[in-house]
Structure 1
Amino acid sequence: MNATATRAGLARGGIELRQLYTNGPDLIGQFLTPAIALAVLFLLRGRMYGDSGLSVAELAVPGLLGSIIAFNGMYALLNVLVLDREDGTLLRAKAVPRGMTGYFVGKIVASAGSVIVQVVVVLGVGMVIIGGSSLSGPGAVVTFVWVVALGLLAVLPFGAILGSVLDTRTAFLLTMPLMGLIAISGIFYPITALPGWLQAVGQSFPMYWLGLGMRSALLPDEAVAIEIGQSWRHLETAAVLGVWAVAGLMIAPVVLRRMARHESGSSMAERRDKAMQRAF
């Protein structure tokens, strides 16, 4: 990878992050959904889950963090690629020497950075208004860091893949099945409360393992009693997220190179015309 293009991409990512967090509408878009989720969980803070000693809200906060990594990590790249393909931004990047390298490095930095900021902010607010979560000890901190890092590696490449092949309408329609997947992934309620076949489906995707990893880092040791096999399953978490990361990192460059080769003024105009037709 060209060093100059990489440095330009890192600088671009930093600029985009600064713009994101100094723009009111963008900030609302970033934190509105997590804020609503935290408000709902705040109202549930007195509802205990069985004899676990923890409330439903306390159990759900780590899952909320996992869903932010999975959902926003993927959509951060997916949405920007779809929009940049339609408005010509990607085509302009292609016209600059090593412009595509700088473009993708910048988008990855901005997407990963925005997700990390959301996770840190939501975790801090959740600790204050709901409680139950804490990074108590070096082991918890290390677990938190590797789960976040490996989770981003597992979902960001698939955001790039989907953003390379979808248009605005199909990207929007993808939201519903993803929300359904969140519902069966033990994000807001322990997966052990679901039927066995739904547990198997949920465990096939990164969302469940991100939620489990976050719970293992943030909840007291006794909370493991409500998990499958009464274990945090760190090895399995690393293995599943690692498989998704390797698959994404192998497929994404191929899809992105193919997409970049086919970017042209005529293809951009065709996508824009289709978008205009849908609007009217």
Structure 2
Amino acid sequence: MNPTSYAARLGLSRGWIEFKHSLTNPQDIGFTIVTTAAFVVVLYLQRDAKVPGTDLSLAAATLPGVLGIGMAFNGLSGAVGALAVEREDGTLLRAKALPQGMVGYLVGRIVSLSLAAVSGLLIVLVAGLFLVPELTGAGLGAWLTVAWVAALGLVATLPWGAVIGSLANSPQAAAGLSMLLFGALSSVSGIFYPITALATWLQAVAQAFPLYWLGLGMRAALLPDAAAAAELGGSWRPLETLGVLLAWSVAGLVLAPPILRRMARRESGSLMMARRERALQRIG
């Protein structure tokens, strides 16, 4: 078997095992419960409000953005945090010693974080069935669109999260960097709303990144066709959504492994111990 294919296969197995372990980790479960509950509370508070000038509930208009930003946050920030922690505790150093170890590591991280993100998405969707009456009328096509947009959105963000995480020297720096980038992109992404009200140059910036297309794809799946009139060009642009998310996915999967390998080549036991000493000093 090709070494890269074998490493990817091991990565799939590792990702599944890590996901199962996370289901018994109180810290992981607590984080998932808190973040998912926050989204559900927002939908609950908006359930009786209407979008001005329409019969569409505010909760129904918000739900696609909640699903999209959940995928993006878990993909980008989840990968950043995991890489920073595992760089400090020596996991990356051990992966470096294996043939094609960084490929297996990246695949494993994509699988485990994707499963965690999908679990959160399903919980929000189940809550949405009770809080958003419009959701019960969604057909098979809508659910298939949710599925492929979520899947591509995760693959479009997870490898880039790993790349960003490789730039940070500590989990604290990684968290700060990821939140700064995610906040900046989210503020102009239009993931919760059409970007037609933004300046033209901001519209161009938003469309260059996957967050906008995640929001657009989820709105296309779950909102009525009439809502497309508020979007750029008056259309959901499914082919453009597919193309941009696919391009970010391919670019990330191609570029992340060599960047991680280059970062891993600079890793050593002495550097790892130095970071651990700094971490212990911060705690002390």
TM-score scaled by structure 1? 0.89
Equivalent position to 1:57, from 59, 62, 66: 59
Task: Flag the 1:52–1:181 CA change in 2: closer, same or farther, 3 A.
Answer: farther
Aligned counterparts, 1:103-114, within 5 A: 103-114=105-116
Distance 1:131 1:205, change over 3 A: farther
RMSD: 2.3
Change (3 A) 1:135 1:234: farther
Cα gap change, 1:274 to 1:226, in 2 (>3 Å): same
CA distance in 2, matches of 1:68, 1:9: 24
Matches within 5 A, 1:255-274: 255-274=259-278
Distance 2:50 2:206 in 1: 24
- Give 2:95's aligned residue: 93
Equivalent residue for 1:172? Answer: 175
CA deviation map 1:185-204 (0-9, x unaligned): 22334433444443333222
Sequence identity of aligned pairs in percent? 49
Instruction: Identify unmatched segments of 5+ residues in structure 1.
Output: none
Q: Which residue pairs with 2:11 in the alignment?
A: 9
Alignment partner for residue 250 of structure 1, among 247, 254, 270?
254
Q: What is the aligned residue count?
A: 280
For 1:270, the aligned partner's letter is A
Structure 2 distance, partners of 1:35, 1:82, is: 26
**Distance verdict in 2 for CA 1:88–1:183, change over 3 Å:** same
Secondary structure (helix, strand or coil) at the match of 1:133 reads helix
- SS of the aligned residue for 2:174 comes to helix
What is the deviation of 1:73?
0.9
2:158 paired with 1:133: no
Which amino acid in structure 2 is aligned with residue 112 of structure 1?
A: S
Deviation at 1:82, TM superposition (A): 0.7
| Aligned match for 2:228, one of 217, 224, 227 | 224
Deviation (angstroms), 1:232 = 0.4
Q: Which amino acid aligns with 1:143?
A: T
TM-aligned CA deviation for residue 279 of structure 1: 4.4
Letter in 2 for 1:230: G
Output the CA distance in 2 between the equivalents of 1:11 and 1:250: 21
More moved, 137-146 vs 160-169: 137-146
Residue in 2 that maps onto 1:28: 30
Matches within 5 A, 1:232-247: 232-247=236-251
Q: Deviations over 1:222-244 (max 9, x none)?
A: 22222222210112212221222
Given that residues 96 and 261 in structure 2 are in contact (C-alpha distance below 8 angstroms), is that contact kept between their aligned partners in structure 1?
no
The residue type paired with residue 224 of structure 2 is: P
Q: Kindly tell me: are residues 187 and 4 of structure 1, through their superposed partners in 2, closer, same or farther at Cα, counting changes over 3 Å?
A: closer
Cα distance in 2 between the residues matched to 1:11 and 1:74: 22
Separation (CA, whole Å) in 1 of partners of 2:78 and 2:256: 15
Q: CA deviation at 1:101?
A: 4.0
Query: Are the aligned partners of 2:106 and 2:257 in contact in 1 as well (CA < 8 Å)?
Result: no
Query: Please, which runs of 5 or more residues in structure 2 have no aligned partner?
Result: none
> Residue deviations 1:15-69, cap 9 Å, x none?
1111112333311212312311221232122222222321222111111111111
One-letter identity of the residue aligned with 1:226: A
Q: Secondary structure of 2:135's partner?
A: coil
Q: In the alignment, is the contact (CA less than 8 A) between 1:144 and 1:214 conserved in 2?
A: yes
Distance 1:277 1:165 in 2: 22
Partner of 2:187: 183
Q: Tell me the equivalent position of 1:215.
A: 219
Letter in 1 for 2:116: S
Supply the AA of the counterpart residue of 2:242: A
- Indicate the larger mover: 71-80 or 41-50: 41-50
| Distance verdict in 2 for CA 1:278–1:192, change over 3 Å | farther
Residue identity opposite 1:245 in structure 2: S
